[in-house]
Amino acid sequence: MTLKLYADRMSQPSRAIIIFCKLNGIDFEEVKIDLSRRQHLTPEFREINPMKKVPAMVDGRFKLSESHAILMYLACVFPGVADHWYPADVFTRAKIHSVLDWHHSNLRRGAASYVLNSTLAPALGLPLNPEAAAEGEKLLSASLMKIETVWLKGKGRFLLGSFQPSIADLSLVCEIMQLELVDEKDRERIMGPHPKVLKWIDDTKKATRPHFDEVHSILFKVKEKMKKLQSDGSVGESTRKTSPRSKM
């Protein structure tokens, strides 16, 4: 029975798992759960993941949610996944767990909150929230600084000084890619002070091509649509009453 991935490519952890499977020749069926159409809230999807979140996975009779747990599971059970993705060495593995745990309360929380509240909210039928966006940006910038000065220390081009990417590189870079949705000036202001982070993103893209670009192409399409809707004047106000969901 083929592995089933319940995902929305607009969700950064969904993209990380899809790219991981493609890179490692893991055969899977991608089941789209459209967040903008609230498909994650249906009774059918609740049977797959009672937490009502994507990504989620079904492998035979085994159901699993949470992207880091899924990446670790896939790396362990599918033959042919190269060791560098989730090294068997207990010390390297522990450090990868540390980065992934840190990610939850720092980079992910900051980036997701900033992108949602500064840009994405109207496309989900929610108002923009400049105060929450500013709060998110603060945590995001502090997190990028920690990646620059702590996690990217060492000889290699990847996190923890590694010479090849791990699931941590994939997870964190997919998170930062969400910033492609925001205004270019804002993105430059936030990313500019972190040259090592920018180089690492580029190195991770190169190491995971062509799948990285293909799976991320949706972001650029959505950005174009959002720009068009903005120029039509139908998205962007902070007190919208109708949802442009059907237009996305």
Closest contact distance (angstroms) between CB of 105 and its own copies is: 6
Q: Describe the chain by its helix, strand, coil percentages, rounded to 5.
A: 65, 5, 30
CB of 51 to its own copies, least distance (A): 7
Provide the CB-side half-sphere exposure for 200 (13 A, CA): 34
Nearer to its own copies, 96 or 226 (CB): 96
> What region, left, alpha or beta, does residue 52 occupy, with left being phi > 0 and alpha being psi -120 to 50 degrees?
left
Residues numbered 139-178 forming contacts with its own copies, rule: CB under 8 A = 146, 149-150
Q: Which of residues 206-235 bind its own copies (CB under 8 A)?
A: none
Closest CA to 37 of 244, 229, 227, 240: 244
Toward its own copies, which CB reaches closer, 67 or 235?
67
d(CA 172, CA 162): 15
- Shorter beta-carbon distance to its own copies: residue 17 or 226: 17
Q: What minimum distance in Å lies between the beta carbon of 113 and its own copies?
A: 11
Applying CB under 8 A, among 41, 69, 82, 218 the residue interacting with its own copies is 69
Q: Interface residues for its own copies in 71-130 (CB under 8 A)?
A: 72-73, 76-77, 90-91, 94-95, 97-98, 100-102, 104-105, 108-109
Nearer to its own copies, 166 or 244 (CB): 166
- Residue 201 CB, shortest distance to its own copies, in Å, is 21
What is the per-residue DSSP string for 85-153?
GS-SSHHHHHHHHHHHHHHIIIIIHHHHHHHIIIIIGGGGT----HHHHHHHHHHHHHHHHHIIIIIT-
Q: How far is CA 3 from the centre of its chain?
A: 20
Site string for its own copies, 45-64 (x = CB under 8 A): -----xx----------x-x
Q: How far is the CB of 243 from its own copies (least distance, A)?
A: 23
**Cβ 243 vs Cβ 127: under 8 Å:** no
Q: Tell me if 166 sits within 8 A of 208, measured CB to CB.
A: no
In this complex, which beta carbon is closest to its own copies, that of residue 146 or of residue 225? 146
For residue 99, the minimal CB distance to its own copies (Å) is 8
CA distance to 17, 43, 107, 183, 233, per residue, from 147 (Å)? 21, 39, 9, 23, 38
Site membership for its own copies, residue 68 (CB under 8 A)? yes
- Residues making contact with its own copies (CB under 8 A): 50-51, 62, 64-70, 72-73, 76-77, 90-91, 94-95, 97-98, 100-102, 104-105, 108-109, 146, 149-150
